[in-house]
């Protein structure tokens, strides 16, 4: 039975996904869309449950009057049929109604809504541009995704289980008291108005405070996760104390905002007790007064008293639920800051799959600037032929990395076009574009998974034999075979730690190269691909990369010019432009910027060799005492 209600909605249905709405009301409406057929039934069962609750209290007063009027001897004989019906209602109808209401709320709604919100938030964030993640804490983003789920689920659950029940119960209480005497209902109506005004006043303040509290909590999580994710840097620079202070500043702010929130909870408790005392006074006292004048019966006084006492106990619960609801709404609003922003880089409405035949690349008048600070590209025209191997060099800030980011469409150029085989990259799907480009970067961070999981990321449908061949070509198979993690998993099953921290820089780089080898894309981008390797391994990897380059269009960025000297062409960039273009020999003959960079590196290398030689000559042949 539980499983039936749980399966009435699929929280991970791809057809139910749409970009998150930016406003609170629109977002909640959007998330409830898959439950639209169940919501009326939830409302009906909730209303009937609340009406039955107030009805039972009213009926208990009637039973008291019947007992008083007929006496013990004649009571059962006179009212036997009515009592049986009342018993069936209590034992069968009421439990069935309450049970159905809980199955709908807890199995159909709550069991699915929380993970639906998290999944859709994660799905939306994954398709944000790389720059979006570079401008925020990963910990803060993940915290907001995780908080949004329970916040939305609890909010909707409270609306149906608590607020709907409470509103219906109050209306039922007013109706019951009106049936007894309108003079009893009038003070209750006035009290409800006072109570609603007080709740609204507190709730709005709580919502604002909860939003700032949630933001402080997300910021604190981001700072702590940032320290853990970069723990090697923290240790390397002996900055434990500084990181403590950095987190402590955020924790102090979090404590201050939480203290403000708790002050409201204390004010809430005092106000609730005072308002509840007023309720008893203005309803029960008039009921007793009316009884003394023979206007109402003892049973009706008992029913009015029971309704009031029940409402008195419920009012504190309603107030708490309302505050919690507004607290969650504040969390949701804060979460929408990260979840709802539109994607800056999106597929065109009629985007097609990129079809690569020759893998020729064209940059036509491409300009992309990063504000007034400079950097980027300035009117770059570049054609890379099919199968051509092109090296790119230049000083920092020359635009080398920007060229690659625009090719991968991490960002769109402000002017100009980029084409692959005469297909504009902004007119094809991003997934199909990046599927045709293999990239090895200077700073390779691996996923916190097994070695197998990291390498097969390049081509998930590859079998183990293909994966091992790729690892061997990247000179990685030998060290992988000797790996063992802290849980005893070995070889390709060993976990590499967060961002691959359990491996050396060279080992991470070789796994990254194996991943690209397995991907076997027609376009290969190398961004300082061998910079983390020692000289001996670099020579081996260079040989492997030359083999991998065969038949591919290659773009290689390097600061170490010796690594790209064998390229078909070398582009020299400076201040966002291509200032030199030619082979290694031709560029040296031009005696321009490339020749200057080459001579500097050669001179520095010779100076280091001379220094090492001189140091060796100066070593004493016998120990100095």
* Residue 489 region by backbone torsions, left for phi larger than 0, else alpha for psi between -120 and 50, else beta: beta
Residues 422, 450: one domain? no
Which of 56-60, 212-216, 379-383, 398-402 is predicted least confidently?
Answer: 56-60
Whether 542 is in a domain gets the answer no
Residues 246, 315: one domain? yes
**The model's pTM:** 0.71
Which of 520, 541, 573 marks a domain boundary? 520
pLDDT category at 354 given cuts 50, 70, 90 is very high
- Of the spans 255-259, 386-390, 502-506, which averages the highest pLDDT? 386-390
pLDDT category at 144 given cuts 50, 70, 90 is confident
Res 604: pLDDT: 59
Res 614: pLDDT: 40
Residues 330, 418: one domain? no
The strand ranges marked E within 63-170 are none
Which of 63-67, 293-297, 363-367 is predicted least confidently?
Answer: 63-67
Whether 361 is in a domain gets the answer yes
Res 447: pLDDT: 83
For residue 284, give every residue at least 6 positions away whose Cβ sits within 8 Å of its Cβ, in sequence order, or none. Answer: 304, 305, 308
**417 strand-pairing partners:** 364
Residues 400, 514: one domain? no
Q: Which domain holds residue 505?
A: 437-520
Residues 460, 324: one domain? no
Residues 505, 423: one domain? no
The predicted model gives 256-269 an average pLDDT of 79
pLDDT category at 75 given cuts 50, 70, 90 is confident
Res 610: pLDDT: 46
Residues 368, 383: one domain? yes
Residues 490, 578: one domain? no
Res 618: pLDDT: 41
Query: How do beta strands 553-557 and 523-527 pair?
Result: parallel
Task: Judge whether residue 57 has pLDDT over 80.
Answer: no
CATH code at position 164: 1.20.1560.10
For residue 416, give every residue at least 6 positions away whose Cβ sits within 8 Å of its Cβ, in sequence order, or none. Answer: 363, 364, 365, 366, 367, 379, 380
Higher pLDDT, 392 or 260: 392
Q: How far apart are alpha carbons 302 and 306 in whole angstroms?
A: 6
Residues 172, 79: one domain? yes
Whether 213 is in a domain gets the answer yes
Taking the CA of residue 399 as centre, how many other CA atoms within 13 Å lie in the half-sphere pointing to its CB? Answer: 25
Residues 452, 562: one domain? no
Which of 520, 538, 573 marks a domain boundary? 520
Mutual angle of helices 505-519 and 464-473, in 10-degree steps: 130
Residues 83, 38: one domain? yes
Taking the CA of residue 418 as centre, how many other CA atoms within 13 Å lie in the half-sphere pointing to its CB? Answer: 24
Instruction: Of 387, 406, 402, give the one whose Cα is nearest residue 569.
Output: 387
Whether 425 is in a domain gets the answer yes
CA angle 574, 576, 582 (to 5 degrees): 55
CATH code at position 450: 3.40.50.300
End-to-end CA distance of the chain: 89
Task: Judge whether residue 107 has pLDDT over 80.
Answer: yes
Q: Which two tokens stand for residue 105?
A: 């709320």
Taking the CA of residue 322 as centre, how many other CA atoms within 13 Å lie in the half-sphere pointing to its CB? Answer: 25
The predicted model gives 183-207 an average pLDDT of 81
For residue 139, give every residue at least 6 positions away whose Cβ sits within 8 Å of its Cβ, in sequence order, or none. Answer: 221, 222, 223, 224, 225, 226, 229
Taking the CA of residue 298 as centre, how many other CA atoms within 13 Å lie in the half-sphere pointing to its CB? Answer: 7
Res 621: pLDDT: 39
Higher pLDDT, 577 or 290: 577
Task: Judge whether residue 280 has pLDDT over 90.
Answer: no
Q: How far apart are alpha carbons 275 and 291 in whole angstroms?
A: 25
Which of 232-236, 280-284, 443-447, 488-492 is predicted least confidently?
Answer: 232-236
Res 297: pLDDT: 82
Q: Which two tokens stand for residue 269?
A: 């408790």
Cα dist. 255→219, 241, 260, 292 in Å?
Answer: 13, 20, 9, 56
The predicted model gives 532-559 an average pLDDT of 77
Cα dist. 389→14, 203, 551 in Å?
Answer: 41, 65, 10
Which of 368-372, 473-477, 536-540, 564-568 is predicted least confidently?
Answer: 536-540
Domains held by the chain: number: 3
Whether 540 is in a domain gets the answer no
CA angle 396, 402, 406 (to 5 degrees): 170
Which of 283, 307, 339 marks a domain boundary? 339
Whether 529 is in a domain gets the answer no
Look over the chain and give the mean of its residue pLDDT values, rounded to a whole number. Answer: 82
Residues 111, 27: one domain? yes
The predicted model gives 289-310 an average pLDDT of 80
Q: What percent of the chain has pLDDT over 70?
A: 93
Res 603: pLDDT: 66
Whether 210 is in a domain gets the answer yes
Whether 227 is in a domain gets the answer yes
Which of 142-146, 382-386, 524-528, 558-562 is predicted least confidently?
Answer: 558-562
Q: What percent of the chain has pLDDT over 90?
A: 19
Which of 19-28, 325-334, 377-386, 551-560 is predicted least confidently?
Answer: 325-334
The predicted model gives 183-200 an average pLDDT of 82
């Amino acid at each position: 039975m539980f499983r039936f209600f749980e399966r009435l909605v699929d929280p991970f249905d791809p057809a139910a996904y749409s970009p998150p709405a930016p406003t609170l009301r629109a977002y909640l409406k959007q998330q409830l869309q898959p439950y639209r057929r169940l919501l009326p039934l939830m409302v009906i069962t909730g209303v009937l449950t609340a009406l039955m609750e107030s009805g039972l209290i009213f009926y208990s007063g009637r039973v008291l009057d019947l007992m008083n009027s007929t006496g013990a001897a004649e009571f059962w004989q006179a009212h036997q049929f009515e009592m049986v019906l009342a018993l069936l209602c209590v034992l069968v109808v009421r439990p069935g109604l309450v049970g159905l209401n809980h199955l709908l709320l807890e199995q159909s709604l709550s069991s699915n809504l929380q993970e639906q919100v998290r999944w859709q938030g994660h799905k939306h964030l994954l398709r944000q541009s790389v720059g979006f993640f570079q401008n925020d804490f990963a910990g803060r983003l993940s915290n907001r995704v995780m908080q949004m789920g329970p916040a939305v689920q609890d909010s909707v659950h409270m609306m149906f289980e608590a607020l709907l029940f409470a509103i219906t119960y109050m209306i039922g209480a007013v109706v019951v008291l009106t049936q007894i005497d309108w003079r009893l209902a009038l003070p209750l109506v006035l009290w409800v108005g006072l109570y609603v005004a007080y709740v609204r006043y507190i709730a709005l303040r709580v919502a604002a405070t909860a939003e700032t509290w949630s933001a402080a909590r997300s910021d604190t999580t981001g700072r702590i996760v940032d320290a853990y994710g970069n723990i090697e840097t923290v240790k390397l620079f002996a900055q434990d104390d500084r990181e403590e202070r950095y987190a402590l500043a955020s924790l102090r702010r979090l404590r201050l905002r939480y203290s403000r929130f708790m002050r409201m909870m204390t004010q809430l408790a005092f106000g609730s007790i005072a308002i509840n005392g007023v309720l008893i006074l203005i309803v029960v006292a008039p009921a007793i007064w009316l009884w003394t004048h023979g206007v109402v019966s003892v049973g009706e006084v008992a029913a009015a008293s029971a309704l009031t006492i029940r409402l008195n106990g419920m009012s504190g619960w309603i107030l708490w639920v309302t505050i919690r609801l507004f607290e969650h709404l504040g969390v949701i609003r804060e979460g929408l800051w990260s979840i709802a922003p539109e994607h800056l880089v999106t597929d065109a409405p009629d985007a097609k799959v990129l079809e690569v035949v020759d893998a020729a690349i064209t940059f036509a008048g491409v300009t992309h600037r990063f504000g007034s600070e400079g950097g980027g590209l300035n009117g770059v025209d570049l054609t890379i032929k099919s199968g051509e191997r092109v090296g790119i060099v230049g000083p920092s800030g020359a635009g080398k990395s920007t060229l690659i980011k625009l090719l991968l469409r991490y960002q769109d150029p402000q002017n100009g076009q980029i084409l692959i085989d005469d297909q504009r990259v902004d007119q094809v799907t991003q997934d199909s574009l990046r599927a045709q480009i293999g990239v090895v970067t200077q700073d390779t961070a691996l996923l916190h998974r097994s070695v197998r999981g990291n390498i097969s990321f390049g081509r998930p449908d590859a079998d183990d034999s293909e994966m091992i061949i790729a690892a061997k070509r990247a000179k990685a198979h030998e060290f992988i075979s000797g790996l063992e993690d802290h849980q005893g998993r070995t070889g390709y099953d060993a976990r590499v730690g967060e961002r691959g921290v359990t491996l050396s820089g060279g080992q991470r780089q070789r796994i990254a190269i194996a991943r690209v080898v397995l991907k076997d894309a027609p376009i290969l981008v190398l961004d300082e691909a061998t910079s983390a390797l020692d000289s001996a391994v670099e020579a081996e990897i260079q040989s492997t990369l030359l083999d991998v380059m065969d038949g591919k269009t290659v773009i290689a960025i390097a600061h170490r010019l010796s690594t790209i000297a064998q390229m078909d062409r070398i582009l020299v960039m400076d201040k966002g432009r291509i200032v030199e273009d030619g082979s290694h020999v031709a560029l040296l003959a031009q005696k321009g910027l490339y020749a200057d960079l080459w001579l500097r590196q050669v001179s520095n290398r010779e100076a280091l060799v001379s220094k090492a030689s001189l140091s060796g000559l100066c070593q004493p042949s016998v120990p100095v005492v």
